[in-house]
Amino acid sequence: MWLINRLKPDFKTIADFRKNNKVAFVTTCRAFVQFCRSVGLIAGDLVAIDGSKFQAVASSRRHLNLNQLKRQEETLDKRTIPG
């Protein structure tokens, strides 16, 4: 940050970089998915990688206790793990 005087690229620069280096991005994503499969992190046929960032909202009515969290985890497991 100090060397470039806090210079930040704008959206167009990033979009052009992605467009000009599409093959490299596809190759990198493919290698990442293959690595995840080889170490057993994923086993599905469909993988999506998203770089979105969202600001968290922690309202008191959205807090979960341990039992609610376990129920949500069980529901999610039933939806994502076949069998």
In a domain, 29, yes or no: yes
| 52 band by pLDDT with thresholds 50, 70 and 90 | confident
Tell whether 18 is covered by a domain.
Answer: yes
Please give the residue range of the domain that contains residue 69.
11-80
Q: pLDDT tier at 8 (50, 70, 90 boundaries)?
A: confident
Residue 5 forms part of a structural domain: no
Confirm whether 25 is domain-assigned: yes
59 within domain boundaries: yes
Closest by CA position to 43, among listed 81, 11, 5: 81
Inside any domain, residue 56: yes
The residue with greater pLDDT, 62 or 76, is: 76
Res 75: pLDDT: 84
Helix (H, G, I), strand (E, B) or coil at 31: helix
Give the chain's domain count.
Answer: 1
